[in-house]
Amino acid sequence: MAKVKKIFACTECGATSPKWVGKCPACGEWNTYQEEIIFKETPQEAAKSAWKPKHGPMDGPKPVALTDISASNVMRLVTPDNELNRVLGGGIVPGSLILIGGQPGIGKSTLLLQVTLQLKNKVLYVSGEESEEQIKMRADRLTYSQDHCYILTETNVSKIIAFANELEPDLVIIDSIQTLQSPYIESTPGSISQVRECAGDLQRFAKTTHIPVFIIGHITKDGSIAGPKLLEHIVDAVLQFEGDQHYTYRILRTVKNRFGSTDEMGIYEMQATGLREVSNPSELLLSQKEEELSGSAVAATMEGMRPMLIETQALVSKAVYGTPQRSATGFDLRRLSMLLAVLEKRGGMPFGMNDVFLNLAGGIRVDDPAIDLAIVSALISSLEDVAVPSNICFSAEVGLSGEIRAVNRIEQRIQEAERLGFKEIYFSKYNLKGLDQKRFGIKLRPISKIEELYQALFV
């Protein structure tokens, strides 16, 4: 009988150790080692298997020359959910393994059950966390057809694959990978060895049958997907479903995608009847104000191929205590500190003696550097207590020397601003090269330095 051996493995890099250590010597992360049970052959079992030939007839796929492989386009499974199609790069690729993670209660199960009910194809929904009655209650709330959806409450991965082979569905959804267990592994569900083995079995099933598989994964308290890092390497796409509990908007981002771009983003609104697609997020991310207020500016940003207008709000006030406060919601705090240093050094503005608070309306997080100019305008507006006209938007990056730098896809940003009724847009003059200014009905205001922005709006 095989001997049971215990080792400790790092969930970040996969390094192993015979005992638990606080800091991983390979990747330097703390508290990432977890116990794992493996089986090792006894000398008698090894002797029995030693007589077997090492090189016998090979089954399975054979090596194929690259020139002999046809380059025909793969037919994707296009879902009725346009936001999901955009994030996946145009639809679900046959045989792909897709992992979706997010905070508890954010709507991961609701999203995939809604996609399941919207599809007209045969779908197998496997749940290891909820009973059939609980899934039925959620499906009734979503008010979609349920004839083609099959529910299986099972945690044994071998039985799940056997049922899937018998049913032959067009899509399989696993909720969640941490609840599955393999009969060949002794450890508890959710452990490193169980997650790795179950994910490997599902990958082999997806690749051999060409049936796409969605996997829901839990996340840790720091926001990363629970389990070994190998899980994210096995799958073809990793989607992150995020949002604030105090807002109704949910954002689906692509962390990894072998079949498309990783810059795409889908936006949903949580309602009583499920998740509603937000096809025009600009109108929702712009607040409705009855009067002009200081500290507010609109930025024209890009998320993948989608242009969006987002309102930036800044508040600058005298520091009550000795050390001024810096707070940013939806924006990198270190980049905010950099912009404040540029304004103080190049513009001579006394931000070092003031508390600064920054917020992006709608609870959204933006990493596009083109939002810099709008944030600078909002900061100066709040400091000077002069309102920026609501029909003006901004799209440019700010450099360390105070220069206004060019950004990509400026034409799409200008078109989005014009479509939503803005009259002027400030951007870098270095974006003028190759830009046909006559095709736009909005007034273009190219600038090259922060001083030009200050002279145009606050003098």
Q: How far is CA 228 from the centre of its chain?
A: 19
Does residue 383 contact residue 354 with C-beta atoms inside 8 Å? yes
Residue 316 predicted with pLDDT over 90: yes
Neighbouring C-beta atoms of residue 408, cutoff 10 Å: 12
List residues forming the annotated binding site: 102-109
For residues 201 and 219, give the distance between their C-alpha atoms in angstroms, rounded to a whole number: 21
Q: Where do the DSSP E strands lie in 81-183?
A: 97-102, 123-127, 149-152, 171-175
Contact 16, 8 (CB under 8 A): yes
Name the binding residues for ATP: 102-109
Identity of the residue numbered 357 = F
User: One fold for both 77-279 and 283-457?
Assistant: no
- What is the pLDDT averaged over residues 31-51? 61
Sign of the torsion formed by the C-alpha atoms of 81, 86, 90 and 93: negative
Does pLDDT of 214 surpass 70?
yes
Nearest Cα to Cα of residue 458 among 399, 395, 377: 377
The residue among 228 and 28 whose pLDDT is bigger is 28
Tokens 């790069």, located at residue: 89
d(CA 253, CA 261): 11
Domain edges within the chain: 3-47, 77-279, 283-457
**pLDDT > 50? residue 46:** no
Of the CA atoms within 13 Å of residue 201, those in its CB half-sphere come to: 21
- Residue of higher predicted confidence among 362 and 85: 85
Residue 51 has a pLDDT of 46
Percent of the chain with pLDDT over 70: 90
pLDDT at 222: 67
d(CA 120, CA 80): 9
Please identify which residue in the block is written with the tokens 């000077």.
Answer: 384
The per-residue pLDDT for 362 is: 75
pLDDT over 60 at 337, yes or no: yes
Contact indicator for 315, 327 with CB cutoff of 8 Å:
no
Q: What is the pLDDT of residue 57?
A: 53
Read off the pLDDT of residues 93-103 as tens digits, 9 standing for 90 and up. Answer: 999 999 999 88
Please determine, for residue 238, whether its predicted confidence score (pLDDT) is greater than 80: yes
Residue 50 pLDDT more than 50?
no
Best CA proximity match to 415, nearest among 435, 388, 434: 435
Enumerate residues 6+ apart whose C-beta is below 8 A from 434: none
Give the list of residues 6+ apart from residue 67 with CB closer than 8 angstroms, or none.
none
pLDDT of residue 264: 84
What pLDDT, on a 0 to 100 scale, did the predictor assign at position 263? 78
**Structure confidence at residue 430 as a pLDDT band (50, 70, 90):** very high
Give DSSP secondary structure letters for 149-172.
EEEE---BHHHHHHHHHHH--SEE
Q: What pLDDT, in 10s, does the model give residues 140-187?
A: 988 888 888 999 999 999 999 999 999 999 999 999 898 999 888 877
Q: What CATH code is assigned to 283-457? A: 3.30.230.10
User: Is pLDDT larger for residue 278 or for residue 153?
Assistant: 153
Q: How confident is the model at residue 49 (pLDDT cuts 50, 70, 90)?
A: very low
Burial class (CB in 10 A: 0-12, 13-18, 19+), 248: middle
| Burial of residue 114, with CB atoms counted within 10 A of its CB: 0-12 exposed, 13-18 middle, 19 or more buried | buried
Q: How far apart are CA 304 and CA 369, in angstroms?
A: 13
CB within 8 Å of 58: residues ≥ 6 apart: none
Helix axes 372-384 and 333-347, enclosed angle (nearest 10) = 60
> Which of residues 244 and 328 earns the better pLDDT score?
328
Pick the CATH number of 77-279 from 3.40.50.2300, 3.40.630.10, 2.70.170.10, 3.40.50.300: 3.40.50.300
CA of 181: how far to CAs of 157, 195, 452, in Å? Answer: 6, 8, 63
Q: What is the pLDDT of residue 159?
A: 94
Least confidently predicted of 13-22, 179-188, 225-234, 274-283: 225-234
* pLDDT value, residue 39: 58
